[in-house]
Homo-oligomer: A and B are copies of this chain.
Amino acid sequence: MELHEARRAGLYNIGDVATRSGVTAKMIRHYESLGLVKEARRTEAGYRVYADVDVHTLRFIRRARDLGFSIRGIQQLLGLWQNRRRASADVRRVAQTHLDALDAKIRELQQMRATLEHLVHNCHGDSRPDCPILDELSARATED
């Protein structure tokens, strides 16, 4: 197949798909190398060729990434999405696992934030050198 034939057949090259899906061409190739999306057909010149269904799949991937799912999680979600006999419980389990991970991460960052906020709040922030931030970081023990 050649590219102009593919175009006439309603197919896209990687740049078109990138624009339509919101996934960069770079990442599309990367996902292919990971096996997250199946290997694209090629024109005779070696250009990747895509159809609407691929755009749809890549949008799915991008939305999942936007929700912070890992490639592993997206792999699971894609598998369930493409399996009509899936149980929604399986989907929810994957999502819940990620939700728990998000919660853990948020708590971790909030803990950092609280400590740092406290320190920043207690720092004069003037021309003098004394600074509770440095005092805390150089303290002999980890206590506040």
Contact = CB atoms under 8 A, between A and B. Distances in A.
Interface of A: 56, 59-60, 63-64, 66-68, 77, 80-81, 84-89, 91-93, 95-96, 98-99, 102-103, 105-106, 109-110, 112-113, 115-117, 119-120, 123-131, 133-134, 136-139, 142
Contacts of A98: 116
Contacts of A120: 92, 95-96, 99
A92 B128 contact: no
A99 B77 contact: no
Q: Which of A120, A128, A139 has the most CB of B within 10 A?
A: A120
B133 A95 contact: yes
A105 to B, nearest CB: 6
B134 A80 contact: yes
Given A60-B138, A102-B109, A102-B116, A125 B81 contact: no
A63 B106 contact: no
Contacts of A89: 124-127
Contacts of A129: 84-88
Contacts of A63: 136-137, 139, 142
B109 A106 contact: yes
